């Protein structure tokens, strides 16, 4: 099929690259010419495993092209995916200005038969609002669908290629047929498709993220309780998560959830609940618990060091999770700011983070290597669970530190191994080893 993808951020660019790889002809649109120049070289403007290969192959085969001229992208498109950013706005759901600006340009330019798919994560009710706003364009049966995306950063290509479900929120039979046709080369069984109304599609997206976020907050509070009672959260997590109705996934305790989706989607669903007079109090508590979790870890650091002022700390990890360079809503970044604010002398290392405009350079020094920068440090904190941290020369690091104390704020390292390397180890609700 001839596909246009408007907005080449994390969702849009992955969608464009994967659709091209599956044999469709795809034209991507973005307003940032610098970004387009990078993509034209077969490189992703953000870190995402496997994406560069797909982009290079798509461009080479001629099935993928990118432009900043919208009309050129939309001319022959049979289906248009709207995937512009809907960034967080003041903890109250997303800012939709870019979304409405893009919709205002796309709808008039699109052919009357072209199917418009909303891939951007928009608050519940937005698809219906879009249909209302542009009612004049489609007198009958507006070919509009809300098809939310569930990919995770760091495994976005795999997630996009093998979706658990394809939720298609539409009133239009032609839109339903076209969306299924786009996914035909993915060879998905019929039961993976979930046709529904737009409002249900939007609710599914927000509810899925909110449930997972609430599960993490539950895990964090339980781990904090384990810490107070001298119980081992690893054992508790295994015991609780072994029940298949609960499952171990998303029960990892630590610094809390972050990123550009969970906090925003949770806030958006809470707001929808307020507006509909159906308060989501469980989610309100989950969001509040998440906000407290970074403070909990900062307090642990304070306790370990006997006050933070003037203490020399090295923090490993700044991104909100591994395999991404994204620090939006990152609890690790928040922790760094909090420690520095409380007077710690902080140096931070991250395999992928590159300073942008968050002002981090005024708060901490960025390290090129934890081995070079650990000498004389009072405390080492692991704040993002990058897998390569397992293979650091821990004996050497422990030997060089002033006080070999390790606060594993992601519960990722092996306690016995760290104790053998010479550390006093402290996790979140894990039994300490020394
Ligand atoms: C999430 C959803 O998983 C995805 O379906 C949706 O499309 C976008 O939002 P993402 O933000 O990429 O994806 O990351 P995810 O891997 O889900 O992790 C989200 C946050 O939760 C991270 O900050 C992570 O560190 C944290 N997390 C995850 C935990 O603290 N504990 C866990 O057990 C799992």
The protein residue with its alpha carbon nearest to ligand 1, atom 21, reads 257
SS3 7: coil
Task: Indicate the length of the chain as a whole number.
Answer: 434
Give residue-wise pLDDT tens across range 218-271: 999 999 999 999 999 999 999 999 999 999 999 999 999 999 999 999 999 999
Q: Is 86 close to ligand 1, i.e. is its CB under 6 Å away? A: no
For residue 87, the CA-to-ligand 1 centroid distance in Å is 16
Q: What is the 3-state secondary structure (H, E, C) of 329-357?
A: CCHHHHHHHHHHHCCCEEEEECCCCCCCC
Q: Which of 73, 196, 226, 261 is catalytic?
A: 261
Q: Please name the helix (run of DSSP H) or strand (run of DSSP E) that holds residue 161, with its range, or none.
A: helix 156-161
CA gap 202, 168 in Å, rounded: 10
pTM: 0.95
Q: Is 94 close to ligand 1, i.e. is its CB under 6 Å away? A: no
Catalytic-residue membership of 261: yes
Give residue-wise pLDDT tens across range 318-352: 999 999 999 999 999 999 999 999 999 999 999 99
How is residue 367 annotated by DSSP? P
Q: Is 44 close to ligand 1, i.e. is its CB under 6 Å away? A: no
Q: What is the pLDDT of residue 434?
A: 47
The protein residue with its alpha carbon nearest to ligand 1, atom 26, reads 257
Q: Is 262 close to ligand 1, i.e. is its CB under 6 Å away? A: yes
Please list the rounded mean pLDDT of every run of 10 residues in the chain (434 residues).
97 98 98 97 95 98 97 96 93 90 97 96 97 92 97 96 97 97 95 98 98 98 96 97 98 96 96 97 98 96 96 97 93 96 96 78 88 96 97 97 97 96 96 63
CA gap 280, 258 in Å, rounded: 20
């Amino acid at each position: 099929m001839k596909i246009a993808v408007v907005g080449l951020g994390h969702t849009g660019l992955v969608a464009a690259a994967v659709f091209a790889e599956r044999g469709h002809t795809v034209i991507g649109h973005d307003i940032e010419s610098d970004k387009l120049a990078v993509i034209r070289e077969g490189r992703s403007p953000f870190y995402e495993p496997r994406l560069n290969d797909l982009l290079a192959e798509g461009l080479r085969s001629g099935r993928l092209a990118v432009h900043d001229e919208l009309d050129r992208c939309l001319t022959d498109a049979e289906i248009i995916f709207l995937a512009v950013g809907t960034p967080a706005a003041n903890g109250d759901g997303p800012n939709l200005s870019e979304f409405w600006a893009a919709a205002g340009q796309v709808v008039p330019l699109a052919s009357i038969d072209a199917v418009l798919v909303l891939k951007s994560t928009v608050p519940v009710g937005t698809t219906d609002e879009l249909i209302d706003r542009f009612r004049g364009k489609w007198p009958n049966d507006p070919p509009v669908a809300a098809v939310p995306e569930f990919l995770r950063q760091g495994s976005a290509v795999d997630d996009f290629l093998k979706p658990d479900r394809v939720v298609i929120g539409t009133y239009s039979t032609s839109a339903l047929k076209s969306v299924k046709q786009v996914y035909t080369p993915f060879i998905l069984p019929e039961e993976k498709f979930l046709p529904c109304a737009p409002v249900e599609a939007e609710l599914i997206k927000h509810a899925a993220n909110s449930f997972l976020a609430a599960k993490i907050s539950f895990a964090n509070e339980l781990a904090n309780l384990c810490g107070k009672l001298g119980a081992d959260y690893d054992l508790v997590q295994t015991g609780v998560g072994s029940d298949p109705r609960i499952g171990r996934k998303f029960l990892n305790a630590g610094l809390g959830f972050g990123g550009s989706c969970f906090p925003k989607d949770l806030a958006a669903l809470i707001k929808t609940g307020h507006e509909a007079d159906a308060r989501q109090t469980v989610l309100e508590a989950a969001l509040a618990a998440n906000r407290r979790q970074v403070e909990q870890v900062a307090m642990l650091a304070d306790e370990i060091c006997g006050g933070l002022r003037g203490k020399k700390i090295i923090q490993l990890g700044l991104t909100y999770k591994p395999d991404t360079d994204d620090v939006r809503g990152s609890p690790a970044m928040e922790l760094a700011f909090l420690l520095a604010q409380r007077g710690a002398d902080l140096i931070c290392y991250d395999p992928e983070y590159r300073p942008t405009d968050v002002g981090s350079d005024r708060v901490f020094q960025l390290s090129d290597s934890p081995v070079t920068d650990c000498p004389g440090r009072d405390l080492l904190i692991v704040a993002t669970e990058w897998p390569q941290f397992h293979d650091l020369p821990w004996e050497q690091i422990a030997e060089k530190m002033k006080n070999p104390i390790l606060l594993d704020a992601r519960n990722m390292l092996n306690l016995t191994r760290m104790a053998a390397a010479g550390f006093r180890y402290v996790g979140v609700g894990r039994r300490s080893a020394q």
